[in-house]
Amino acid sequence: MGRVFAPKITDASLKAFTLKLGDKHPPIALGSADRTIHDPGAVRRRFAGTIDYLARVELEVDRNVLELLTLLPNVSEVDKIFYQDVWYDQEMAHGYLLDQLQVDLGMEPADPFMTVPLRMKLLGALAHWDPIHDISRMLYYLTGASTERQAVVAYSILIRELKLMGEDAIAETIIHPIKQQEPGHYTFYKMSAEKMMQDGDLQPWQLFVTRLLRSQAFTLVGVDYVKKYQQDLGGVLTELGMDQEMEVYAKEIGRLEAKLLWAKDKGMDFPPYFLKSLQESVDMYKGQGNFDAPVNNRFMI
């Protein structure tokens, strides 16, 4: 058999996918959840850190939009449809569901982080130049794809573990519906990044800069260059048991980036900065890392 080629991704096909995604997955209504919890104390003891972290990240979409507009001053029509008409309302609904779950568990509501990091502002200031704008677009898509894969894995494990605890209601009517909407977001970012590579939007020097920025400034979901959040993520990884299989997890969340940015490095399952970031977060949580930033400096600039 001859080689099977994937269909070409066009602006029209990407827009059609985005509109279909919005129609297929409306925001989850808060009232649709069965909030029955058999043992709130047990769930809180086991997953308080994870639920709080996920709720905070989902509720940070207002800041995420500000970051997007900072990085991409000339945002495309399809990107705007995605974040404005599809992604924003879905993510806010996720945050409301998880925040209510926190309250039901006797926890404090999440405290979203609303500061746009300085390095994003600096990159955004340069993004009015088209070649830098294209680099920012690729960074946006790669970050989005990685974030969504991290979310899917975390929600999948959380569902499994909650069901093992007999907490079927919150697993099936809160966590599972949220998880169902994340793969569509991932596919949007994946298709967008693949289209840029397919169309040759990045010259070799732009790809070099993209690789350099990812290597030097990569962070995992929700860390936002804040050391406290990096430590908290290590707690999430530990609570969900991912600290025992970090290479497997790194491959799961980093394979697309390895394919698109590092294809010349044959046999690379994931860029090394994925595993490095995971290990640093877990080490910080367990108190094993050597992190020299001042204690009173909350931000990683």
* Torsion angles phi and psi, residue 28, rounded to 5: -75, 125
pLDDT more than 70, % of the chain = 93
Say whether pLDDT at 297 is over 70: no
Q: What is the C-alpha to C-alpha distance for residues 142 and 194, in angstroms, rounded to an integer?
A: 10
Q: State residue 292's pLDDT score.
A: 33
Q: State residue 109's pLDDT score.
A: 93
pLDDT tens digits, one per residue of 141-181 = 999 999 999 999 999 999 999 999 999 999 999 999 999 99
Q: State residue 81's pLDDT score.
A: 96
Say whether pLDDT at 298 is over 90: no
Find the DSSP H helices in the chain: 11-24, 40-58, 61-71, 77-81, 88-104, 118-126, 130-164, 168-170, 176-198, 204-217, 227-239, 246-261, 272-286
- Model confidence at 289, in pLDDT bands (50, 70, 90)? very low
pLDDT more than 90, % of the chain = 86
Mean pLDDT of 251-264: 92
Q: State residue 117's pLDDT score.
A: 85
Q: What is the C-alpha to C-alpha distance for residues 213 and 258, in angstroms, rounded to an integer?
A: 14
- Model confidence at 288, in pLDDT bands (50, 70, 90)? low
Please name which of 51, 65, 64 lies closest in space to residue 95, comparing C-alpha atoms: 51
Q: Is 75 exposed, middle or buried (0-12, 13-18, 19+ CB in 10 A)?
A: middle
pLDDT tens digits, one per residue of 13-38 = 999 999 999 999 999 999 999 999 99
Q: Indicate the SS3 state at residue 175.
A: helix
Say whether pLDDT at 294 is over 80: no
pLDDT tens digits, one per residue of 97-153 = 999 999 999 999 999 999 888 888 999 999 999 999 999 999 999 999 999 999 999
Q: State residue 266's pLDDT score.
A: 67
Per DSSP, the residues of 31-85 read: GG-----S-HHHHHHHHHHHHHHHHHHHTTHHHHHHHHHHH-TT--HHHHHIIII
* pTM for the whole structure: 0.91
- Model confidence at 188, in pLDDT bands (50, 70, 90)? very high
- Cβ pair 138, 123 in contact under 8 A: no
* Torsion angles phi and psi, residue 221, rounded to 5: -55, 130
On average, the pLDDT of the chain sits at 91
* CA–CA distances in Å: residue 259 to residues 42, 250, 254: 41, 14, 9
Q: Indicate the SS3 state at residue 299.
A: strand
What 108-114 contacts at long range (C-beta under 8 Å, 24+ apart), as own/partner pairs, is: 109/55, 110/52, 110/55, 110/56, 110/59, 111/56, 112/56, 112/59, 112/60, 112/62, 112/63, 113/56, 113/60, 113/63, 113/224, 113/226, 113/229, 114/60, 114/62, 114/63
Map out the domains of the chain with their CATH numbers.
Answer: 11-26+34-286 (1.10.620)
Q: State residue 146's pLDDT score.
A: 97
Say whether pLDDT at 5 is over 70: no
Say whether pLDDT at 3 is over 70: no
Q: Indicate the SS3 state at residue 226.
A: strand
Q: State residue 7's pLDDT score.
A: 86
Q: Indicate the SS3 state at residue 224.
A: coil
Q: State residue 291's pLDDT score.
A: 34
Query: Which of 265 and 299 is assigned the larger pLDDT?
Result: 265
